[in-house]
């Protein structure tokens, strides 16, 4: 079904959109506007930024800036042979994301790019398949089950803070690239929540997945050349063998849990994410929809991918923002001290950390880890006054919406958490986790994790931005600090 979208001649889509006044840059044969985009981005990101400022849309999405100026808020461009319409009107975005979650989804090109990595897990699934998976998995991310992960988060954070403190005491080092620590920490947390008792093996799987992710990202750069993915290149061979290695380890964990249940040593597959998926695999058999082992493995990989890098980036950017805004750092530290009373934060205390919450939101606004949201229409869709033909991909430029002066006012590019103090603002303009039925399933998980880690970090250390930090945000799937975030840490002595 998805494939059939590609048989619709792109020319027809172009004509339908032109009739509605949606135009864009002229595509080149096969490659569309890919080269134009690459050239503009290479130029705009060839230098670091001169100061730590957040006016980054022109740097990161120069093609968006140029084309929206020339063709208006809606324009169409070509990612190779895939036509994409950029949509930045908040009303229409809200309508698309809330009403059409099963008849729009991930395009074949996107699925192809991640086939050997996360397969058809929740993030890449479409239609009915997506709907069933979402309903099976959703309970793992709400209510008491969600709260039960807080303990793991606190434990892993304690270990990281201790290793930082030891490093300072032993080597006298003060400067740290905090991104490295955050990446390791969020990977530890997701390994524990996913594989609790098989934690060590889980970590091994995730090390392999990190390599696999890099290889797949490189290989998908060549995807736009027709036929290239059929060549048994070095990439393809390496990708296949890594994939097999990861799946073999995953199967070992799954099999040992099944054995325990079958010989009666335990009555359930476990309380971690994997256990929950296996329990569901048994339960859902009666009502017709089943999760098979391949899907469970794809899901395990999906949670690792979707759940750790995004959160690590949120944390790194927030530390950068707090390090370069000492007055907010002090305010948040005082709040944590008052709410948590010197102890580790409990789930109930987290909702009282209002200032920290505002800072995290402001960080997600300025540096949204997921910079664009893609949705392909699998059927004709009516969106406001627009007729969207089947086969058209819609791209929502989250980063540009978050920085729009029209939506946020003259200080749109300034760090000002105060703007999140009032709860009433136009819906649809703040969408770091998307919105509607297909929003981020891990949103509450990520927010809980970020608050716990930042609250614990800020009460143990004060930090300033290092003179070695180079402000150079780049987009490689997500928004990353090109050279990391170097901060100088000073331990804060605990009272008495
Ligand atoms: C700051 C951290 C995070 C950000 C900014 C973020 C952002 C997003 C966004 C924008 C989407 C929608 C993507 C799309 O449909 O194209 C998404 C989906 C998803 N996220 Fe997150 N995410 C974060 C953390 C997490 C965590 C911690 C988990 C899991 C533990 C997670 C799991 C997922 C999954 C499985 C989906 C696919 C949901 C579906 O299609 O039904 N995310 N996330």
CB contact at 8 A, 104 and 126: no
CB 455 within 8 A of CB 345: yes
Per-residue pLDDT, 189: 92
Q: Could you tell me if the CB of 123 is within 6 A of ligand 1?
A: yes
* 235 has pLDDT over 90: no
**CB of 473 closer than 6 angstroms to any ligand 1 atom:** no
pLDDT band at 495 (very low <50, low <70, confident <90, very high): low
CB 94 within 8 A of CB 401: no
The verdict on the CB of residue 312 being under 6 Å from ligand 1 is no
Q: Which residue has the tokens 């819906």?
A: 427
What pTM did the predictor assign? 0.93
How far does the centroid of ligand 1 lie from the alpha carbon of residue 370, in Å? 9
Residue 442 CA to ligand 1 center (angstroms) comes to: 6
- pLDDT tens sequence across 128-168: 889 988 988 888 898 888 998 999 999 999 999 999 999 99
CB 85 within 8 A of CB 392: yes
Q: Which of 106-110, 231-235, 239-243 bottoms out in mean pLDDT, i.e. has the lowest?
A: 231-235
Q: What 3-state class would DSSP assign to 487?
A: strand
Q: Of 38, 64, 63, 322, which is closest to residue 178 (Cα–Cα)?
A: 322
CA 237 to each of CA 220, 293, 297, 397: distance values in angstroms, whole numbers, following the listed order: 14, 23, 20, 35
Q: How far is the CA of 491 from the centre of ligand 1 (A)?
A: 33
d(CA 153, CA 345): 10
The predicted structure's pLDDT at residue 166: 94
Can you give the pLDDT at residue 6? 54
CA 359: distance to chain centroid? 18
97 C-beta closer than 6 A to ligand 1:
no
Is 440 annotated to bind ligand? yes
Choose which residue among 119, 440, 451, 477 to substitute to test ligand 1 binding: the one with the highest number of ligand atoms within 8 A of its C-beta: 440
C-alpha pair distances (Å), 107 with each of 6, 217, 235, 369, 466: 10, 16, 23, 20, 42
Q: Which two tokens stand for residue 486?
A: 């170097």
Helix (H) or strand (E) holding 475: strand 473-476
307 lines ligand 1 (CB under 6 A): yes
Which tokens in the block code for residue 459? 């009460």
- Report the separation in Å between the CA atom of 272 and the middle of ligand 1, taken as the mean of its atom positions: 19
CA of 354 to the centre of ligand 1 (A): 23
Q: Whose CA is nearest to atom 6 of ligand 1?
A: 433
Q: Is 370 in the pocket of ligand 1 (CB under 6 A)?
A: yes
3-state secondary structure of 373: strand
**E strand spans, 172-262:** 175-177
CA distance 319 to 331: 14
Phi/psi of residue 128, each to 5°?
-55, -40
CA 482 – ligand 1 centroid, Å: 22
Burial class (CB in 10 A: 0-12, 13-18, 19+), 216: buried
| Residue 494 DSSP one-character state | P
The whole-chain average pLDDT of the chain stands at 88
- Which protein residue has the closest C-alpha to ligand 1 atom 10? 433
Q: Which of 266-280, 347-361, 372-386 has the lowest mean pLDDT?
A: 266-280
Please tell me the distance from the alpha carbon of residue 33 to that of residue 35, in angstroms, as a whole number. Answer: 6
Write the residue with the smallest CA distance to atom 24 of ligand 1. 307
Instruction: Report the nearest-CA residue for atom 1 of ligand 1.
Output: 311
ipTM exceeds 0.90, yes or no? yes
Q: What are phi and psi of 131, to 5 degrees?
A: -55, -45
For residues 457 and 232, the model is more confident at 457
């Amino acid at each position: 079904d998805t494939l059939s979208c590609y048989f619709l001649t792109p020319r027809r889509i172009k004509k339908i959109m032109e009739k509605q006044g949606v135009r864009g840059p002229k595509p080149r044969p096969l490659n569309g506007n890919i080269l134009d985009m690459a050239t503009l981005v290479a130029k705009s990101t060839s230098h670091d930024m001169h100061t730590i400022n957040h006016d980054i849309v022109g740097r990161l999405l120069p093609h968006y800036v140029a084309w929206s100026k020339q063709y208006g808020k809606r324009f169409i461009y070509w990612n190779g042979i895939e036509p994409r319409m950029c949509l930045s009107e908040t009303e229409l975005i809200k309508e698309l994301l809330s009403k059409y979650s099963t008849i729009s989804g991930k395009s074949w090109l996107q699925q192809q790019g991640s086939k050997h990595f996360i397969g058809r897990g929740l993030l890449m699934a479409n239609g009915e398949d997506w709907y069933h998976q979402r309903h099976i998995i959703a309970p793992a991310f709400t209510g008491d089950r969600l709260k039960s992960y807080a303990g793991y988060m606190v434990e892993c954070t304690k270990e990281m803070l201790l290793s930082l403190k030891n490093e300072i005491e032993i080597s006298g080092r003060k400067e740290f690239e905090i991104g490295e620590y955050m990446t390791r920490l969020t990977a530890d947390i997701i390994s524990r929540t996913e594989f609790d008792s098989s934690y060590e093996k889980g970590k091994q799987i995730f090390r392999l997945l990190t390599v696999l992710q890099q290889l797949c990202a490189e290989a998908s750069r060549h995807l736009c050349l027709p036929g290239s993915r059929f060549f048994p290149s070095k990439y393809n061979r390496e990708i296949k063998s890594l994939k097999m290695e990861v799946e073999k380890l995953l199967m070992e964990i799954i099999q040992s849990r099944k054995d325990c249940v079958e010989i009666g040593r335990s009555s359930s597959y476990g309380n971690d994410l994997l256990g929950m998926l296996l329990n569901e695999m048994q339960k859902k058999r009666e009502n017709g929809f089943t999760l098979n082992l391949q899907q469970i493995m794809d899901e395990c990989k999906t949670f690792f991918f979707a759940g750790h890098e995004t959160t690590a980036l949120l944390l790194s950017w927030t530390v950068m923002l707090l390090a370069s805004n000492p007055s907010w750092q002090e305010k948040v530290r005082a709040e944590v001290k008052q709410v948590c009373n010197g102890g580790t934060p409990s789930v109930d205390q987290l909702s009282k950390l209002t200032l920290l919450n505002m800072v995290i939101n402001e960080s997600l606004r300025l540096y949204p880890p997921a910079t664009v949201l893609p949705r392909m229409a699998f059927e004709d869709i009516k969106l406001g006054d627009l007729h969207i033909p089947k086969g058209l991909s819609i791209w929502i430029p989250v980063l540009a919406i978050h920085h729009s002066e029209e939506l946020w006012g003259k200080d749109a590019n300034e760090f000002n958490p105060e703007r999140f103090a009032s709860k009433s603002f136009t819906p649809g303009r703040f969408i770091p986790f998307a919105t509607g039925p297909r929003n981020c399933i891990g949103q509450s998980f990520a927010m809980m994790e970020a608050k716990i880690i930042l609250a614990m970090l800020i009460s143990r250390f004060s930090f300033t931005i290092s003179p070695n930090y180079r402000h150079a945000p780049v987009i490689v799937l997500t928004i990353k600090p090109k050279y990391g975030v170097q901060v100088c840490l000073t331990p804060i002595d605990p009272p008495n």
